[in-house]
Structure 1
Amino acid sequence: MSETDDDERDGIRLQKVLAQAGIASRRASEQLIQAGRVEVNGELVTEQGRRVDPEKDEIRVDGSRIPTARRHVYTVLNKPRGVVSTMDDPEGRETLTDYIDRRNVRLFHVGRLDTETEGLIILTNDGEFAHRLAHPSYEVPKTYVAQVLGQVSPHTLKRIQRGITLEDGPVRPDKVKVMQTMPDATLLQITLHEGRNRVVRRMMEAFGHPVQKLTRIAIGPVRLGRLQPGEMRDLTQEELGKLLDLVGM
């Protein structure tokens, strides 16, 4: 029986999985295992030849989650302002499809950004991952930069931090800080762990400081960085590993 056949029947050798994930060569992966730096499903592995299922087993190196080679795609798009967060639009407006067609794979978006908001949106073909990432029970934090009308006073900032009850329930930011104060506007960084429709805009409107411009700059460990509007990139191994941990996969 060939090694490939053996792998398919009993799982794949751990050092091969690590090599396929880009951690190290097979030889270097064997050294990581021997040094006691690799865990599978919470169990320290030091013997060579351990077989694993890369689709199901949780593998860590030095405590960090290692997303193994998968059949799914995980990407992030910096959605430009004016683009509708859907895959098609009956009114003929620009949609996410206009940016992901080049990938030649069917992707769908995790959550939405309203049309006038720009910034990070995750796209994938992993249904379970998308469901968990969007579910409020996992409380994945999302960070925005909001330019709001008027100067936000220290008193109002404290009120925002305490939260407010909107028509669809209470909302309390995880963190709010002033980034810049201008003569007639304030730049705020706001982090929340929920994704209700237009929640940042509605919250700031309720405090008397309507949003003039809104950008989502982070989803959990995923940062906007230098990604320009309209650009896409794959999630890094570290980002995906941390997201998988956040959503309990």
Structure 2
Amino acid sequence: MTRTGLARALSKLGHCSRSQGFALIRAGQVMLNGRICRDPEQPVLLERDVVQVQGASVAAAKRVYVMLNKPRGLVTTASDEEGRATVYDCFEGAGLPHLSPVGRLDKASEGLLLFSNDNAWAHGITDPETHLVKNYHVQVARLVDDELLQRLRDGVVDGGEKLRMRKVSVLRIGVKNSWLDVTLDEGRNRHIRRILDAHGIEVMRLVRVSIGSLVLGDLAKGKWRHLQENEVAALQVR
């Protein structure tokens, strides 16, 4: 049987985020086996215990897998203390269960972002040990030559972390800027931006275009769609 804390159980069941679960529990809105529980870490056996929120039983939601073409300017969070627009605004009125982002894109970045209520599937995608490749197109405010490409391939040490790009090449070059094709097989916080910052390179745009075999394609900016069964299976870590 699967044992987990009560707040995390609410997230696993697809009812809400873990932080929202904490708030509901602290407010006395959650009952465990018929009794109000105010301890977010109270152990729960998902296969046996009965969890209720405001008197309604919480059952495991159907597994949902969604891809979004994230626009620039949205933060990847369910709610923002500063009142900024979030990626969840793109799902408004869709009637989806609570979904968590699978990984992150920072506010200034855009492109392919996954969401799901299947925590095991999501963990397999984000776990650095799986080395799942992710591809990005990055516009930089300078012309990139072979010498600079080699320095980018060598990687940098930033904040005690060794950061590398698995692959980097030039997509196209304009008059004053270049587009790079970057592949990562790990995803540390602001990974690409930190490498480019270390070389004094300004990032103009950063777009994630694929995760594993899943490609953003022609999905319009700010739009989302459900993944097909074969797409879900292709990203399943076995």
When the two structures are superposed, what TM-score results if normalisation uses the length of structure 1?
0.68
Partner-residue secondary structure (3-state), 1:103 = coil
Please tell me the residue identity of whatever aligns with 2:156.
I
CA distance in 2, matches of 1:183, 1:103: 46
1:199 matched to which residue of 2?
Answer: 191
Please tell me the residue identity of whatever aligns with 2:216.
L
Q: 1:97 aligned to 88, 113, 120, which one?
A: 88
CA RMSD of aligned residues (A): 1.5
Question: Which residues of 2 match residues 100-111 of structure 1 at below 5 A?
Answer: 100-101=91-92, 102-111=94-103
CA distance in 1, matches of 2:186, 2:62: 28
Question: Cα offset for 1:98?
Answer: 1.1
Please tell me the residue identity of whatever aligns with 2:145.
S
CA distance in 2, matches of 1:204, 1:241: 34
When the two structures are superposed, what TM-score results if normalisation uses the length of structure 2?
0.71
Please tell me the residue identity of whatever aligns with 1:100.
F
Deviations 1:173-211 (A, max 9, x none): 111110111121110010001111111111111122221
Matched, 1:129 2:121: yes
Matched, 1:153 2:127: no
Partner-residue secondary structure (3-state), 2:104 = coil
Structure 2: 5+ residue runs without aligned partners? 1-60
2:106 matched to which residue of 1?
Answer: 114
Contact 1:152 1:209 in 2 (8 A): no
Please tell me the residue identity of whatever aligns with 1:132.
G
Please tell me the residue identity of whatever aligns with 1:85.
T
Partner-residue secondary structure (3-state), 1:180 = strand
2:3 matched to which residue of 1?
Answer: none
Question: Which residues of 2 match residues 15-34 of structure 1 at below 5 A?
Answer: none
1:171 matched to which residue of 2?
Answer: 163
Deviations 1:93-150 (A, max 9, x none): 1112212231331111011100010111100000111122111111111111100111
CA distance in 2, matches of 1:153, 1:162: 15
Identity of aligned residues (%): 38
Deviations 1:24-70 (A, max 9, x none): xxxxxxxxxxxxxxxxxxxxxxxxxxxxxxxxxxxxxxxxxxxxxx9
Question: Cα offset for 1:75?
Answer: 0.7
CA distance in 2, matches of 1:111, 1:179: 25
Give the direction of change, closer, same or farther, for the CA distance of 1:168–1:220 in structure 2 (3 Å limit).
Answer: farther
Structure showing the higher helix proportion among its residues:
1
2:19 matched to which residue of 1?
Answer: none
Please tell me the residue identity of whatever aligns with 2:172.
Q
Please tell me the residue identity of whatever aligns with 2:137.
V
Please tell me the residue identity of whatever aligns with 2:231.
E
Deviations 1:140-183 (A, max 9, x none): 11111100111111111012122222224112211111011112
CA distance in 2, matches of 1:218, 1:133: 12
Structure 1: 5+ residue runs without aligned partners? 1-69
Matched, 1:78 2:69: yes
CA distance in 2, matches of 1:237, 1:128: 16
CA distance in 2, matches of 1:207, 1:224: 29
Q: 1:211 aligned to 200, 203, 208, which one?
A: 203
Contact 1:107 1:124 in 2 (8 A): yes
